[in-house]
Every structure is written in structure tokens, then in C-alpha cells.
Structure 1
Amino acid sequence: MMMKSRTVPLQSLHPLKWDLGLPDNFEKLLIPKYPNYFQFVKALNGVTCLRLVQWQEEFAVSALQRSNESKEMGNKYEQFKKGQTTLAFPMRFPRGYGAQKKVRAWMEEFQKLPYISPYEDSRQIDPNSELMEKRVVGVLHELLSLTIHKKTKRNYLRSLREQLILPHKEGYQQGKLVNPHPLARLRDKFYHVMRTGLVYRNKGANMIPEDILLNDVEDETGPHESEGECETGDDCYVETSEIEEV
């Protein structure tokens, strides 16, 4: 129900079956019992997928919405349903981290952004906006709430990014930083010198390979993106306790 096409490849579900509490052969034992909910279809590339047959509105309520609805919140949740307020994610910071004023100020503004249910169509939201960031947090929060131990490996979600409309922008591309910090450039040059063992002394920069010299033009214009899959410290994606396990 969170997928934009209401369809998910079976091969993407298999790595998640342990975390979701599904039996090994769920596609043979479980799915056929609910023909009114699911059906098997073939994608254009020949991959077998599971498709939602009928939308069930009662299931399109996120864990965050349910937890707020069940709490004694006076009329706050009613205000949220009327669009008059928003929902905040429960958060706990490591000791000392949450005490930083800038962090708290940013989080307070982030929490005030409208809550976008992971079951709502979000294709019209600006992918570069803070609203989309909050929507992504909501999707990951909901996915984790569906798992047995409230965590999973981020690698298991890679094949679902497009269907879940999760961002592909990441920090690394083809093993290199997409937008390197000036200090990172200097560290790379220092590493090259230490690795090769060159001593430049009187000959100066003439011995330094041209490809590692400072490039003022590139520094001013920024690095150029190249085609291919981005890998960020793929660590953009959460676990909750640490995104190593989303």
C-alpha cells in the first residue's frame, strides 16, 4: 500500500521476510489464502510481483497516527485530522547531542512541518524540499514499525527505493565524494604523498601528478556529476538506533 504502483517484486520481499515475520515459502502458503487482497503479476522485465487487488482504507493508517490517536491528547489529534496541526516524531538524542541549541532549533522547525502519511500519494511533492525529507522519515518510520524487531538492514530496502519514492541522492558516486569538502581534498593529497612515499623537496610541485593538483576552477564550479548509481555512505537511511539497520 506504500508502493506508488501498489506492486512489489517478490525478490525484494524475500530478504525482508525474516524481519516481517513471514514464512520461508510465504508466496505459496500465505498469499493464495487472500485472493481478495493480492495477486501475482509479471513485470515488463519478467520479474514476478505481488500486486494489491483492493485498497483497504482501514489499513492506510500509520503507526504514528495510531499511537497518537490512542493517547489522551485532548482534541489535538482531532485538529490534526482536520489539517489544523501536525504530528511530531518521538525522538531521543545521545547524551549532549540534543542539548545543542542549533540542533534543537532545527528539529523544532522540522517537527512543525506537515505530517505526510506514507500511504498518501507524494509524487507531487518537491523532491528537494524539507517536506519530502519529513515524508521520507515517515516512510522509514512506518516500515520499521512493520518489522518484528523494529529494525532491518538498509541493503534490504535498496530495491524498493523507486517504488517508495525514496531519494537516490547520496554522498558517494563511483567510490568518490559527489561534493567533496575542501579539507577532504587536502586529506586525499596527503594520503597520496604518504602512500607513494615521494619526497618533493627542491623539485617542488613539478613531481606531483597533475591529476592531484588543486584545481581552482573545479573548486569554484563544484564537482561534475557523472552517470551511474550513487552510493552514499549509503547511510542516509535509517535504522532508528542507527541507520546501519534501518
Structure 2
Amino acid sequence: MKKVRLKWVKNRSLDHIIDRDTDTKACCLLLEYIGRHTTASSPIQARNLSQFQKTLGLTIPVLRFLRRFPNLFVESPHPRFPSVNCFSLSDPGSLVLSRLSSTAATSDSHLRLARLLMLCQSRSLPLSALFPLRFDLGLPHDFTSTFPSLHPNLFSISRREHSSDTVMSLMNYPTDLAISYLQRRHLESPSYRDLKKPPSSLGAPLAFPMRFPRGYGSMNTVKTWMDEFHRLPYISPYADPTGIDPESDLMEKRVVAVLHELLSLTIHKKTKRNYIRKLREELVLPHKFTRIFTRYPGIFYFSLKCKTTTVVLREGYERGKLVEPHPLASLRDKVNRVMRTRVLYRDRDLTKLVLDDDDVNDHDDGDDDVENYELDISDGEEEDEEDEED
């Protein structure tokens, strides 16, 4: 199959979403950390928070970030050392935290985690690879202790032999969950092409949704390339890839399916590339899997915003908003609204939350994708390119 390579360019709308969600993620994680480590007599010191700047993905110091939101974070001198700055949560901040915690505890995050473990070759992952994905999957902060006790038939915590790694493993393989997001969508709302297939062809090729810039979807070269790609059999990401030639086009489509399913499991349909790199061996991904994102820009968007690399599932967004917003994602969007407007309650009544009001206008930019691609057709293998390090 001829490989049409579309060069990467910026997408202003998706970059704006990543910029906005980075601040929201940092705010939510700081609310959670300060709420768990602060008491009335011992607020947390600012220097203990400054070490999390890189982990939070902030491009400014944590202290400056906290001071931007005095309605959520309260700065005060230390009770014993007045020269030391400390932070605690305000009453509105505590109220927001309780809403986030209750929503995360009652969501379907355990099913998302189970599907992620089902994608892995060993049906297990070290906690060092799971913790970075906790926010993206919507997991509660204590999932390592609550999930094994609440769902003992699904999860267990153990230590690997000859290693100090603590891993979370899948106890049973629920076959009813081994249906990919793409397969479920085709079964629930089949396309015209699917309706023409006989009932016995459920394993026939499935088409990935493509969102090219204006004009590119109608180009003959791109259409021919995508027709050949979609004619290849669709291999479920939950199926065993043993026996597939690692250098074949079929394996490449299987890799696209795995990455598509992984991003579909996330709350915001995006995650950082470095988080995926920690799962590379378990997901049976090639060493240079990053080229998949740039080779299929109709499916993925590869962003360099916020001094990091983020991968976005294009079909998950429409005009700057999630197509199928998760309840936790909707709550986080309202938290971002509180961050921007500095308004949490009305009429001096903490029970009348703006978080519960849907009539507040959201001023997010809804610009269409503004981008251009250049075509590069190659018959053979692409030139080897080393993945950039963040």
C-alpha cells in the first residue's frame, strides 16, 4: 500500500483546548493534594508544592499559579514561622473538591481501567505507569486501595518477582468488555456501508472516522490511500496480535486501532505521548510509534503545546467541545469556568453553585480547524526518524 505522508502543522482550536485543560488539570490536582495534606492547624507550605511544577505541566511557577485563584486557594503565613507562606483551601475550594471527588467515585472509571488492563499483553501494569494516566482516566486518588476491595473479581495489587514494582492486575477477563469503541459505535449506529454488509460479515473492515482539513478529503490521492487502508481487516485491539507480521500494513492498522482505543478510554480523548511510551511494550507498539500520529492526521492530532507533546483523538471534538462529554469532563469544564470568572456562588449562598447552572455562557473559542498539509507519497519504507524527547 502506498503511504501518503501528510506533514504536521498547528491546529489552533485543539491547541487552545490543550492549553485550557492543562490549567484545569493543575487546578484540580492541587485542590486534591492540598485538601488531603492540609489540616486546620497545619497548612501546607508553598515550598512543598513548588516541586510539582513539571508534574502538573505548568509553564509558570506553582506559587504564581495558586495566587491567580484566591477564590479557591487561601495564602496565609505559617502558624509558627510567619515568614513561610502556606496554602489551604477556601470554603468554595473545598466545595469544588467534594464535587470532583464524589463524581470520580461514582463514575465508570473502574471499567475504563479494566479495559486498559485488557489491552495489555500481561493483563497488568505497574503503578508507575498508571499514576500518570489517573487524571486522564478519571480514577479517584485512592483507586489502588478502593478498586481491589470494591471489585475483587476484577483487580488485585501485588509485587512483581525480582522487582520492587507494585502492579495492578486483572483477575478475570470480562469478555463483554472486549469490544472496542469503534466496534460499539458501528453496532449502535451503523453507517450506510455497514447496512449493505451481510450479517455474517461482522469481522469485515471497519472505517475509522477521518477529519481532514477542507479540501483534503476530496483529493484523489488521499481517497485512494484511505480506501486501501480501510479495506484491510480490522483487528480488535483486545485480540492477540501474535502471528501478525510486525512490518506489515495489517500490523500498522492494528497499532492504529490500539491507539484509537486507548485515547477513546480517556475522559478528554487525549493524553501525553510520554504516558503512552510507558505502555509501549505492554500494548505491543513499535519502538517508533510516534510516526503513526503524523502519518494519520485525519485520526490523531499531535500537539506541541505547553512545552510537551499531547496526542488528541480528532473525532472526540467538534468546534472546540467534546462530542460525547463525560460527566466528570463536564464538571471539570465548569471548574475551568470558575477559574476564569472567579465566581462560584450567587446571593451569598454556597448551595447555589454556578457549577450547577447550565445557563452561563461559555466563551471558549469555537474556531474551525485552521491547518494545511503537504503530500508526500512514498512506495517503500519511510526514512527512519528518531522520536523527539520531551
Q: Sort the TM-score into its range (normalised by shorter chain).
A: 0.5 to 0.7
Contact 2:119 2:283 in 1 (8 A): yes
For residues 296 and 131 of structure 2, the distance between their equivalents in structure 1, rounded to whole angstroms, comes to 20
Matching of residue 71 in structure 1 with residue 185 in structure 2? no
CA offsets 1:60-79 (integer angstroms, 9 cap, x no match): 00011100111244363834
**Corresponding position of 1:173:** none
Structure 1: segments with no counterpart, 5+ residues: 171-231
Q: 1:80 to 1:46 in 2, by over 3 A?
A: farther
Moved more, 232-241 or 48-57: 232-241
Instruction: Indicate yes or no: 2:129 matched with 1:8.
Output: no
Q: Is 1:47 the equivalent of 2:165?
A: yes
Amino acid corresponding to residue 46 of structure 1 in structure 2: S
Q: CA deviation at 1:241?
A: 4.7
The SS at the match of 2:282 is helix
Displacement of 1:39 after TM fit? 1.1
Given candidates 149, 157, 163, the residue that maps to 1:32 is 149
For residues 242 and 104 of structure 1, do their structure 2 counterparts lie closer, same or farther at Cα, with a shift above 3 Å needed? Answer: same
Residue pair 1:63, 1:145 contacting (<8 A) in 2 also: yes
CA apart distance, 1:233 = 7.3
* Counterpart pick for 2:178 among 60, 65, 80: 60
How far the C-alpha of 1:45 sits from its partner, in A, is 2.3
- 1:235 is displaced (CA, Å) by 5.9
> Per chain length, whose mean CA-contact separation is higher, i.e. which structure has more relative contact order (CA < 8 Å, sep 6+)?
2
Give the match for residue 105 of structure 1: 224
CA spacing shift, 1:35–1:163, aligned 2, 3 Å: same
User: Given the alignment, which residue of 247, 250, 268 partners 1:128?
Assistant: 247
Going from structure 1 to structure 2, the CA distance change for 1:133 and 1:66 (only over 3 Å counts) comes to same
Cα distance change, pair 54–20 in 1 and its aligned pair in 2 (3 A): same
Alpha-carbon contact 2:244-2:250 (below 8 Å) kept: yes
The aligned runs of 1:158-177 (5 Å cut-off) are 158-169=277-288
Q: Does 1:242 align with 2:359?
A: no
Give the alignment partner of residue 262 of structure 2, picking from 132, 143, 146: 143
Contact 2:144–2:157 (CA<8 Å) still a contact in 1?
A: no
SS in 2 for 1:27: helix
Q: Comparing both structures, which one devotes a greater share of its residues to strand?
A: 2
Task: Quote how far apart the aligned CAs of 1:10 are.
Answer: 1.1
Structure 2: distance between partners of 1:71 and 1:235: 26
Structure 2, unaligned runs of 5 or more: 1-117, 304-309, 312-390
* Contact kept? 1:68, 1:77, Cα under 8 Å: no
Partner of 1:80: 201
Secondary structure of 1:163's aligned partner: coil
How much is the aligned-residue C-alpha RMSD, in angstroms?
2.3
Residue 104 of structure 1: how far off its partner (Å): 1.5
Give distance in 1, aligned partners of 2:302 and 2:200. Answer: 32
Matches of 1:235 and 1:241, distance apart in 2: 6
Could you tell which deviates more after superposition, 103-112 or 92-101? 92-101
User: Does the 8 A contact of 1:9 with 1:47 survive in 2?
Assistant: yes
Provide the TM-score with structure 1 as the length reference: 0.68
Q: Contact 1:126 / 1:132 at 8 angstroms: preserved in 2?
A: yes
Kindly, what percent of the aligned residue pairs are identical?
50
